[in-house]
Amino acid sequence: MSGQPIALPPKAKARVQQSIDNIEEIQKATGAYLEGVAASLDVPDGYTFDQNAMAFVPPPTATVQAPPPEIEDSGPDLSEEEIRAMLASAPAELAPLSENGVQPVG
């Protein structure tokens, strides 16, 4: 029976379906109740109910990332020729990228 679905027996299927239906009913009733509570508390739009805190919580705020700090260029001014010479003498694991930005293999 490898790879084939295994159906529930009729009694188990009925019981599982009844449980699923009950869960859906409870979720709908709880949602309606919480909407009423939120309305009575004048909860602002966008707030959600936090089950762990048992409270209506504000939406997460968008975080604004600060720009990276300016870095002072304190290195020596090297010519393109000097840079190429340094890269040519670098170990193999630091091999320079080719003109198209891909590291050569082998």
pLDDT in tens, 17-48: 999 999 999 999 999 999 999 999 999 999 99
18 domain residue, yes or no: yes
Q: Is 87 in contact with 96 (CB distance < 8 Å)?
A: yes
Q: What is the distance between the alpha carbons of residues 95 and 79, in angstroms, rounded to a whole number?
A: 19
Please give the tally of structural domains in the chain. 1
Residue 12 or 105, more confident = 12
In a domain? residue 87: no
Q: For residue 27, is it within any domain?
A: yes
Give the helix ranges, DSSP H, for 41-106: 80-88
Residue 14 sits in which domain range?
10-57
In a domain, 84, yes or no: no
Q: Does residue 74 belong to any structural domain of this protein? A: no
Within a domain: 40: yes
With respect to residue 102, please indicate whether it lies within any of the assigned structural domains. Answer: no
